[in-house]
Amino acid sequence: MNTNVTVSVRSLLLAALVAMALMVAYLLGSAGGGTPAAQAADDQASAPAEQRRVLTMTGTGEAGAVPDQLSFALGVSLTRVDLDDALGAANATMSRVLASLTKYGVDKADVQTTGLSMTPVYQYHDYSPPTITGYRVSERASVLVKKLGEGGKAVSAAVAAGGNDVRVSNIRLLVGDDDAVMAKARDAAVAEATAKAKQYAEASGQTLGDVVTLREVRTRPLPAPELSAGYLVQDRAAVGLKAMPIRAGRDKGSVTVQVVWELD
């Protein structure tokens, strides 16, 4: 008798738990939002671009400019017996060289110090330790000449002012406003991609919609060609050194973009 009562109680409890679970499932389903059709619409709206009807196209734009500036590396190197004398002489030579450039539009802001080194000079012996015979001081700077027409004169003036102690290298032709040139290349790249996309869409009886993504996939900036020229003055009488002739061609930069459109 007791066994039957226990089984009945257990059955009632099990039935209650099942009913409770069904009720919770119903409530969760109601709060989850909507009919299957509405859920499908939500899934379609949130689908990634790869699953939507899209058209992907690339375009390349070029823009060019004639270099209008010149830069070069300037070095002063000399040796003296005393370190203070070597440093003082190097400073004086560099100051003299930079002063000679002001007449060609080179301001303080156009000169950047790029290096300074002070090293002992040794004399080596066969049977005894080396001895210091002096000190070599080297000062380096980069110079920007904002007017290309003055660039050759500035280089020649620097060499004449520094004499045997000066070196000029890494002469480069530059475009002053290269950002504006590359902006034109980007505009041209987008225009080319758009023109091709419209052509393909019309040919297939479709219409371009909104842009989904636009990214820059490749950039070739304006080059800064280095001139194969260097100066080493062997005689201070070279003050009559003629200006280095410079011919600037036209430099080009390019940008390639990839654009993805929706199709209406």
Q: What is the pLDDT of residues 113-144, one digit of tens each?
A: 999 999 999 999 989 999 999 999 999 999 99
Q: 247 by DSSP, 3-state: which?
A: coil
Share of the chain above pLDDT 70, in %: 72
| Domain locations in the chain as residue ranges | 2-46, 51-64+179-221+256-263, 66-176+231-244
Would you state the CATH architecture of domain 51-64+179-221+256-263? 2-Layer Sandwich (3.30)
Neighbours of 120 (CB within 10 A): 13
Q: pLDDT class for 238, splitting at 50, 70, 90?
A: very low
Average pLDDT, the chain: 81
Find out whether 263 and 228 touch, Cβ atoms under 8 Å.
Answer: no
Neighbours of 160 (CB within 10 A): 19
3-37 pLDDT, tens digit each: 444 445 555 555 555 556 555 444 444 444 444 43
| CA dihedral for 205, 210, 212, 214, sign (positive or negative) | positive
- Beta-bridge partner residues of 138: 77, 117
Neighbours of 222 (CB within 10 A): 20
Average pLDDT over residues 151-180: 93
Average pLDDT over residues 79-108: 96
In order of 33, 46, 101, 168, the CA distances from 144 in angstroms are 67, 54, 10, 13
- For the chain, the distance separating the N- and C-terminal CA atoms, rounded to the nearest angstrom, is 77
Find out whether 142 and 111 touch, Cβ atoms under 8 Å.
Answer: yes
- Beta-bridge partner residues of 213: 260
What's the chain's Rg over C-alpha atoms?
38
Find out whether 68 and 176 touch, Cβ atoms under 8 Å.
Answer: yes
Q: pLDDT class for 226, splitting at 50, 70, 90?
A: confident
Q: Quick one: 66-176+231-244 is in which CATH superfamily?
A: Protein of unknown function (DUF541), domain 2 (3.30.70.2970)
Tokens of 160: 């004449």
The pLDDT score that the predictor gives to residue 222 is 85
Dist. CA 31–CA 72, nearest whole Å = 72
Instruction: Identify the residue whose tokens are 């409530």.
Output: 27
- Beta-bridge partner residues of 139: 76, 116
The pLDDT score that the predictor gives to residue 247 is 63
Q: pLDDT class for 90, splitting at 50, 70, 90?
A: very high
Residue 224 has pLDDT above 90, yes or no: no
Selection from 189, 199, 185 nearest residue 55 by Cα: 199
The pLDDT score that the predictor gives to residue 76 is 97
- In which element (H, E) is residue 71 found? strand 69-80
What is the DSSP code (8-state) at residue 231? B
The pLDDT score that the predictor gives to residue 48 is 54
The pLDDT score that the predictor gives to residue 264 is 84
Between 29 and 64, the more confident residue is: 64
The pLDDT score that the predictor gives to residue 52 is 75
